[in-house]
């Protein structure tokens, strides 16, 4: 049943279904309903042309994204325009926009201003201070010290500490993930949550409706509520008579956050499913990374959760009740931040570009998907051509073969500019990390693809100086020994049939 549901709700099935509807509609309009149909079809074609003109007028829209939708509307002039109208651009009802602005304004009231941390960054490195100010001003992401950090190079390492911290929770547990999957990992977590509810701990779990569509049973949220756990499901996939319920279907909550007692925060790329801790084998050895912070900086993750919780459930938690109560010695500055597709700011991509553009010596990157736009290609190539050591690590065994083809389609332009590319041979690499010049690292949920940069809700943490930066770099360098280096000669030997597939898939990449 789960395989059937996975197929029914897959993007490939939806595209084929829309194409069949288009062909059927065209046939009816031009044969069975010729007299009336021709007029209707003409009106729809004019509608498509209007949508295309609107696309060209959008200066803040990525050119690759524009090109995709123009191609869609040329191939499918009726359904393509309708598809864009509903899901190609972020549209909210007046009621949804009002609620969203209310949540945003309320969150900003409780936004911390930490001028001391910014001053420390200014003294440490003015370029880093500039980037921190950008995140503070536009993402309302405060930089903090008085925060300890720990890095986990594998999911198994993360899970050991994670369970211990959950068991030690006294007041609250906030869990917020894209995927929750029944199995050893989630069952172990759920057993702890049950006990914590009995102890009077405030336990809240939030997950994405699409991310858990085939991993959790129907009405699983009802089951969790029966255990005393408060639950929020982001944008559940359901049938509705309200058009507004369908406007956000192309936007998913891809975040990974756990906050315990407002003092401990976990983030990174790890979802709550067995493959992430290698309890089962999917696509070889699954490498993913995570971080743990404790102290003042956790509030940045807590406020992200509270804001999302209000958006999903309508419940407005009191921010002041969830301030950290402990301070920890720190050897660097942390800055948790989040991104939303509803503000048009592209925070995650801007943060990544900031690391590349500020680099003086090296930039090391890990990403499961390398589906990048022109701005990112230009920055990576320019950095390498300027003498900066740019290395990118991607999976050796993909989880989605067609996305892997797109990833490989970018190899040649990057390699010819001097960028080094490595494929992780033991299996699938799901980590999303940047590290540069021994002074900055970013670890989080955002992939280097269009969905993460433009369509998903994401969260990351920027680390300035200290042991965390060193740990990320060390892990990257150690993992290189398990990778094969890609060469230009290998790319030039790509078979013609595969190259054709790459070109076709790359056109559609903003949707993947």
Beta bridge partners, 149, equal 293
The Cα 278–Cα 288 span in angstroms is 10
CATH topology for 347-511 is Endonuclease; Chain A (3.30.870)
Strand spans (E) along 156-263: 172-177, 202-208, 230-234, 256-260
Query: Cα 434–509–62 angle (5° rounding)?
Result: 75
Higher pLDDT, 15 or 182: 182
**Comparing 94-332 with 347-511, is the CATH topology the same?**
yes
Listed in sequence order, the residues at least 6 apart from 220 whose beta carbon sits closer than 8 Å to its beta carbon are: 212
pLDDT for position 11: 47
pTM, two decimals, is 0.86
- Report the candidate in 435, 416, 445, 430 with the shortest Cα–Cα distance to residue 477: 435
Is the predicted pLDDT of residue 19 greater than 60, yes or no?
Answer: no
Residue 498: Cβ within 10 Å count: 12
pLDDT class of 34 with cuts at 50, 70, 90: very low
Is the predicted pLDDT of residue 23 greater than 90, yes or no?
Answer: no
- Report the candidate in 382, 399, 387, 364 with the shortest Cα–Cα distance to residue 470: 364
414-419 long-range contacts, CB within 8 A, separation 24+: 414/377, 414/380, 414/381, 414/384, 415/486, 415/487, 415/488, 415/491, 416/488, 417/380, 417/381, 417/382, 417/384, 417/385, 418/381, 418/384, 418/385, 418/390, 419/380, 419/381, 419/384, 419/390, 419/391, 419/392
Q: Which class does domain 94-332 fall in?
A: alpha beta
Q: Using one digit for the tens of pLDDT, what is the confidence trace for 238-266? A: 666 565 566 667 788 999 999 999 999 99
Cβ-contact 185, 274 below 8 angstroms: yes
- Report the candidate in 465, 379, 435, 464 with the shortest Cα–Cα distance to residue 135: 464
Annotated domain spans of the chain: 2-88, 94-332, 347-511
Beta bridge partners, 394, equal 423
Higher pLDDT, 33 or 343: 343
Listed in sequence order, the residues at least 6 apart from 122 whose beta carbon sits closer than 8 Å to its beta carbon are: 129
Is the predicted pLDDT of residue 471 greater than 80, yes or no?
Answer: yes
Structural tokens at position 405: 């083809």
- Strand, coil or helix: 469: helix
Burial of 182 (0-12, 13-18, 19+ CB in 10 A): middle
Helix, strand, coil distribution of the chain in percent, nearest 5: 50, 20, 30
Cβ-contact 428, 283 below 8 angstroms: yes
Q: Using one digit for the tens of pLDDT, what is the confidence trace for 167-226? A: 999 999 999 999 999 999 999 999 999 999 999 999 999 999 989 988 999 899 999 999
Structural tokens at position 109: 């009231």
């Amino acid at each position: 049943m789960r395989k059937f549901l996975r197929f029914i709700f897959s993007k490939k099935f939806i595209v084929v279904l829309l194409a069949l509807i288009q062909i059927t509609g065209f046939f009816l309009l031009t044969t069975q309903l010729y007299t009336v149909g021709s007029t209707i079809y003409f009106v729809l074609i004019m509608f498509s042309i209007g949508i295309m003109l609107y696309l060209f007028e959008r200066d803040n829209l990525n050119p690759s994204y524009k090109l995709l939708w123009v191609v869609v509307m040329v191939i499918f002039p009726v359904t393509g325009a309708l598809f864009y109208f509903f899901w190609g651009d972020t549209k909210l009802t007046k009621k949804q926009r009002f609620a969203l602005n209310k949540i945003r304004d309320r969150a900003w009231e409780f936004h911390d201003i930490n001028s001391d941390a910014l001053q420390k960054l200014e003294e440490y490195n003015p370029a880093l201070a500039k980037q921190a100010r950008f995140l503070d001003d536009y993402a309302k992401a405060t930089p903090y010290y008085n925060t300890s950090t720990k890095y986990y190079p594998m999911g198994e390492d993360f899970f050991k500490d994670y369970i211990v911290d959950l068991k030690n929770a006294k007041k609250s547990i906030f869990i917020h993930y894209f995927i929750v999957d029944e199995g050893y990992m989630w069952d172990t977590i759920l057993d702890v949550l049950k006990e914590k509810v009995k102890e009077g701990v405030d336990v809240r779990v939030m997950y994405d409706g699409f991310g858990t569509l085939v991993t959790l049973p129907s009405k699983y949220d009802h089951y969790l509520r029966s255990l005393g756990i408060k639950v929020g499901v982001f944008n559940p996939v359901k049938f509705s008579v309200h058009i507004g319920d369908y406007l956000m279907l192309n936007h998913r909550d891809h975040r990974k956050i756990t906050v315990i007692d407002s003092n401990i925060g976990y983030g990174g790329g790890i979802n709550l499913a067995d493959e992430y801790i290698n309890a089962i084998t999917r696509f070889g050895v699954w490498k993913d990374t995570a971080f743990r912070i404790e102290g003042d900086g956790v509030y940045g993750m807590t406020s992200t959760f509270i804001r999302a919780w209000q958006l999903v459930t309508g419940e407005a938690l009191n921010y002041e009740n969830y301030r950290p109560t402990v301070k920890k010695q720190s050897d660097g500055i942390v800055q948790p931040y989040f991104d939303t597709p509803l503000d048009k700011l592209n925070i995650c991509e801007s943060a990544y570009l900031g690391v590349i553009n500020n680099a003086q010596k090296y930039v090391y990157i890990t990403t499961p998907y390398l589906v990048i736009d022109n701005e990112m290609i230009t920055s990576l190539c320019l950095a390498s051509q300027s003498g900066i050591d740019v290395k990118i690590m991607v999976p050796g065994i993909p989880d989605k073969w067609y996305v892997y083809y797109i990833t490989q389609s970018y190899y040649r332009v990057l390699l010819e500019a001097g960028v080094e590319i490595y494929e992780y041979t033991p299996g699938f690499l799901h980590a999303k990390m940047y590290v540069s010049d021994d002074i900055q690292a970013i670890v989080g949920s955002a992939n280097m693809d269009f969905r993460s940069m433009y369509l998903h809700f994401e969260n990351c943490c920027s680390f300035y100086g200290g042991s965390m930066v060193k740990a990320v770099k060390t892990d990257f360098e150690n993992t290189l020994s398990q990778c094969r280096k890609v060469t230009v000669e290998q790319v030039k030997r790509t078979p013609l049939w595969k190259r054709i597939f790459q070109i076709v898939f790359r056109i559609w990449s903003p949707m993947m």
